[in-house]
Amino acid sequence: MASALSTEREALKATGGVMDGAIATNVKPSTPRSPADVRPERIRSADPDVFGVPTGREEEWRFTPLARLRPLLDGAVSDARLEVTSTLPDGVELVGVPTAEVDVPLPVDRLAALALQRCGSSLVLRVPKGLELDEPVVVRLAGTGPGHVVWGHVVVELAEQSRATVVLEHVGSASYAAVVSVLVGDGAALQLVQVQNWADDTLHAAHVASRLGRDATLRSTQVTLGGSLVRVTETVDFTAPGGDVELRGVSFADDGQHLEHRLLVDHSVPHCRSRVTYKSALQGEQAHTVWIGDVLIRAAAEGTDTYELNRNLLLTPEARADSVPNLEIETGEIAGAGHASATGRFDDEQLFYLMARGIPADAARRMVVRGFFAEVVESIGVPDLEERLMATIETELERAFT
């Protein structure tokens, strides 16, 4: 089996692709799994055709409403752009660079490959070596209408021993497929926050592809509130020991929204740490969230320490939250590995208690959701940023519960 796999891998390499995550025969998963949870191969390639056109039967597409995503899947050539505004502290560079000139992790699916192929130029944010920033870098990407397909590539690059907080905000109306390449150099520390605060008609498919150097630290927070369909795949590749990643997310799906977060943390080197904490709250007839948490601990990744947690809160019975944690472990020499997933309903007793104190039902729901999210947001550890995010969440909840 091993030789057949390596042959296949060689063949893929020749076409520009890499096959990842072959499961060894001695894997002892920590939980029973259904056939749907088993992903025997993961293809990474710059060539869209390596992936084929999704039909909806593929594991990585089975939750996504493909009909709605059609404008992007069709792959039309487009030179439409999002409007970029930014706040840049001294020493930080934000430039356009021909995409062919940047070395970034390979795309994880067809849309990501199309985005890299079609975007033409990449928006590159560079924090130079050793620069430690106290002020956040804010880059705001605004869509000007859903009519045009926009292909995009954003690179956030922290050179070694630098430290920065970067906020990437998405607003307005768009049909946007993008890759966000996150390159954290040796000993660098990045606090990255991405906010999806789109208008109701927006389609957004993104691959957030992180690559960490030795002793690099990444704190990544996704706040997904607005948009018709948002599908974010976040991958983490460790290239050297000492990498430390915390991936957090909160999403609020209202009637008709499909918000999907797919995570793949690839522990391929020893002594790295990862934590995943995602929460979503949902209400309404066609509200749907999807959370896929894949953590792979390869044979070489001794001393890995990982834990992932997903919590979903259904505010109305018709909303639907899918949650698929998946841990593949190829070595027993680890520090820790675990996951937890739970989906609960907003309890009638909680609602009664709050209402019995005069608080109207809508305000009571808002309080509970705000509290549910605050636990994640407050773990960021940057008070200014936490306040900003809670204010954004508050505005969304005000809108949803009135």
Distance CA 223, CA 381 (A): 16
- CA dist., res. 115 & res. 78, Å (int): 10
Binding of another protein at residue 317 (CB under 8 A)? Answer: no
349 near another protein, judged by CB under 8 A: yes
CB-nearer residue toward another protein: 299 or 355: 355
Euclidean distance between CA atoms 173 and 351, whole angstroms: 35
| Piece of 125-133, 322-330, 341-349, 384-392 that binds another protein (CB under 8 A) | 341-349
Whole-angstrom Cα distance, residue 321 to residue 286? 11
DSSP code string of 348-362 = HHHHHHHHTTT--HH
Using only C-alpha atoms, what is the Rg of the chain?
20
Stretch that binds another protein, among 37-45, 136-144, 174-182, 360-368 (CB under 8 A): 360-368
Find, among 157, 74, 152, the residue nearest to 107 by Cα: 152
Q: Is 23 in the site for another protein (CB under 8 A)?
A: no
CA distance 106 to 116: 9
Among 335, 361, 395, 399, binds another protein (CB under 8 A): 361
Contact between 402 and another protein per CB under 8 A:
no
Select the span of 79-87, 265-273, 289-297, 361-369 touching another protein (CB under 8 A). 361-369
Selected from 98, 317, 371, 383, the binder of another protein by CB under 8 A is 371
Q: Which residues contact 352 (CB under 8 A, 6 or more apart)?
A: none
Which residues contact residue 398 at a Cβ distance below 8 angstroms, ignoring those fewer than 6 apart? Answer: 366
Q: Contact, 353 vs 333, CB < 8 A?
A: no
Contact flag: residue 76 with another protein (CB under 8 A): no
Q: How far is the CB of 365 from another protein (least distance, A)?
A: 11
Asked if 360 touches another protein (CB under 8 A), the answer is yes
Asked if residue 352 binds another protein (CB under 8 A), the reply is yes
DSSP state of 298: -
Q: Out of 354, 382, 385, 390, which residue is the one contacting another protein (CB under 8 A)?
A: 354
Q: Which residues pair with 207 in a beta bridge?
A: 179, 233
Q: Helix/strand/coil (H, E, C) string of 68-85?
A: HHHHHHCCCCCCECCEEE
**CB neighbourhood size of 334 (10 A):** 17
Stretch that binds another protein, among 43-51, 173-181, 362-370, 388-396 (CB under 8 A): 362-370
* Cα first-last separation, the chain: 59
Smallest Cα–Cα separation from 116: which of 128, 102, 132, 136?
102
Closest approach of another protein to the CB of residue 396, in Å: 17
Interacting span for another protein (CB under 8 A) from 36-44, 158-166, 213-221, 372-380? 372-380
Whether 66 and 73 have beta carbons less than 8 Å apart is answered as yes
Give the residues across from 260 on adjacent strands: 231, 290
- Between 317 and 371, whose beta carbon lies closer to another protein? 371
- Binding residue for another protein (CB under 8 A) from 49, 353, 384, 391? 353
Least Å from the CB of residue 66 to another protein: 35
By CB under 8 A, residue 239 contacts another protein: no
Q: Which is nearer to another protein, 328 or 396 (CB)?
A: 396
100 binds another protein (CB under 8 A): no
390 is a site residue for another protein (CB under 8 A): no
- 26-55: which residues touch another protein (CB under 8 A)? none
- 62 counts as binding another protein under rule CB under 8 A: no
Q: Return residues touching another protein (CB under 8 A).
A: 347-350, 352-361, 363-364, 367-368, 370-372, 374-375
